[in-house]
Amino acid sequence: MTPRIGVVSTLVLLLGTAQMVLAQSAPVAPMPYTANHHPEFVRVAEATFLHDEDVVLGVASRNVAKAFPAADLSQHGSVFDQLPDGPISVTWCGVCNTGIVFRAEMQGRTLHFQYDRMVAANEVQKDLETGSSWQQATGEAIDGPLKGAHLTIYPFVRTTWSAWRKRYPDTMVLKPLPGYAERMPDRSTRIKAVTRVGPEGAPNGALAVDQRLPARETVAGLEVGRETVAYPFSALRIVRVVNDRVGGLPIVIVHQPASDTTTAFEARSKGRVLTFQAASDDASSVIDRETRSTWNAYGLCFEGPLKGTQLKQVILVSQFWFAWSQFRPGTRVFTAR
């Protein structure tokens, strides 16, 4: 009898192991794709659903800093929140690899957004208050009572959880709704992978694709006045610091390759134009050539004659090239020389 019991036990063990492997390898069904209009936030110590290299969109207003995990945003399309200076909508389009934060108000009215449809392989969201539909990549209302209006982009940074947490150790973090946290690791892995090397070709539904860059090369897009420029991440990882002029403004762009954090500022102080170069290999600090002052990657001078000066932020939008170029034909493309 003992051998039989041993055989049965072994079979049961093998069967249990096989079921576990199948359960782990089976695709996890997605949760309902619906906007989160009543978000909850937790402190850093409670954000166990995040890992250091996970991508987040970070916002800061007065003494409030918040992080919105891209892997969670990608399951909702839009998250509404209220900051000290007003309501915002934190958005993500997974097809375009685009995260943008908008002021969630128009003509003095607070707006709440919900996924509507895809146009040009980019999400369109409808506001619940007026029924107008808004193109996520541009913030423009493409139909409805507010057609032609543009949402204002709210200052934000696309970065990693470790980089944001280091900058704002007291930050609050968007808490995933029940069932959504379990799906974040796979989504986070994909977001990081496609940012490094995007899939071949443009997705179905994209408009005419500009052939100057691969369709799903991630770029940092900048629009000042009527001029638009795309800075490919592949080039920024090499040069790290770019001194440019866009829409008549002197601009400095700082890219930290380890986290793919890209920031931009008006490169002038007290009426004087400044030019910058990296002060460290990771571009966490830069030096201006005119005064030899040292600045962090977020435009704050912490050493030298200009100590305490804060440069004015210019908002970058990171997304796949096809998404940026199809709405902004003729955009200039930065190349590393």
Whether 237 and 307 map to the same domain: the answer is yes
Q: Is 1 inside a domain boundary?
A: no
pLDDT at 264: 98
Q: Which long-range contacts (CB under 8 A, 24 or more apart) does 204-207 make?
A: 204/121, 205/118, 205/119, 205/120, 205/121, 206/120, 206/121, 206/322, 206/323, 206/326, 207/120, 207/326
35 Cβ contact partners less than 8 Å away, ≥ 6 residues apart: 76, 77, 78, 79, 80, 112, 113, 114, 115, 125
Alpha helices in 33-95 (DSSP H): 70-73
pLDDT at 27: 58
Residues in the chain: 337
Q: Is 16 inside a domain boundary?
A: no
3-state SS, residue 298 = coil
Structure tokens of 324?
């940026």
Q: Which residue has the tokens 């990081």?
A: 192
Kindly report, residue by residue over 248-258, the tens digit of the pLDDT: 999 999 999 99
pTM of whole model > 0.85?
yes
Whether 162 and 222 map to the same domain: the answer is no
Neighbouring C-beta atoms of residue 32, cutoff 10 Å: 9
Whether 48 and 148 map to the same domain: the answer is yes
pLDDT at 30: 86
Give 3-state DSSP helix, strand, coil % of the chain, rounded to 5. Answer: 20, 40, 40
Whether 139 and 225 map to the same domain: the answer is no
Distance CA 181, CA 285 (A): 34
Rounded to 5°, the CA angle 109-111-115 comes to 160
Q: Is 213 inside a domain boundary?
A: no
Whether 164 and 55 map to the same domain: the answer is yes
Whether 247 and 170 map to the same domain: the answer is no
Q: Report which of 180, 193, 78, 58 is spatially closest to residue 125, judged by C-alpha positions.
A: 78
Would you give the DSSP letter of residue 236? H
CATH of the domain at 97: 2.102.10.10
Q: How far is CA 190 from CA 29, 154, 201, in A?
A: 16, 26, 17
Whether 166 and 243 map to the same domain: the answer is no
Q: Give the residue from 120, 154, 174 where a domain finishes.
A: 174
Rounded to 5°, the CA angle 237-199-321 comes to 60
Show pLDDT as tens, one digit a residue, over the chain (337 residues): 444 444 444 434 444 443 443 334 455 788 999 999 999 999 999 999 999 999 999 999 999 999 999 999 999 999 999 999 999 999 999 999 999 999 999 999 999 999 999 999 999 999 999 999 999 999 999 999 999 999 999 999 999 999 999 999 999 999 999 999 999 999 999 999 999 999 999 999 998 889 999 999 999 999 999 999 999 999 999 999 999 999 999 999 999 999 999 999 999 999 999 999 999 999 999 999 999 999 999 999 999 999 999 999 999 999 999 999 999 999 999 998 7
Q: Is 193 inside a domain boundary?
A: no
Q: Give the residue from 174, 203, 228 where a domain finishes.
A: 174
Q: Is 147 inside a domain boundary?
A: yes
pLDDT at 282: 94
Cα 115 to chain center, whole Å? 18
Whether 222 and 166 map to the same domain: the answer is no
Pairing, β 172-174 against β 64-69: parallel
Q: Give the residue from 150, 174, 198 where a domain finishes.
A: 174
Q: Is 208 inside a domain boundary?
A: no
Whether 257 and 132 map to the same domain: the answer is no
Q: Is 235 inside a domain boundary?
A: yes
Rounded to 5°, the CA angle 314-94-180 comes to 110
Whether 166 and 229 map to the same domain: the answer is no
Whether 147 and 266 map to the same domain: the answer is no
Q: Is 109 inside a domain boundary?
A: yes
Whether 321 and 228 map to the same domain: the answer is yes
Kindly report, residue by residue over 164-180, the tens digit of the pLDDT: 999 999 999 999 999 99
Would you give the DSSP letter of residue 95? T
Domain count, the chain: 2
Domain that holds residue 263: 218-333
CATH of the domain at 281: 2.102.10
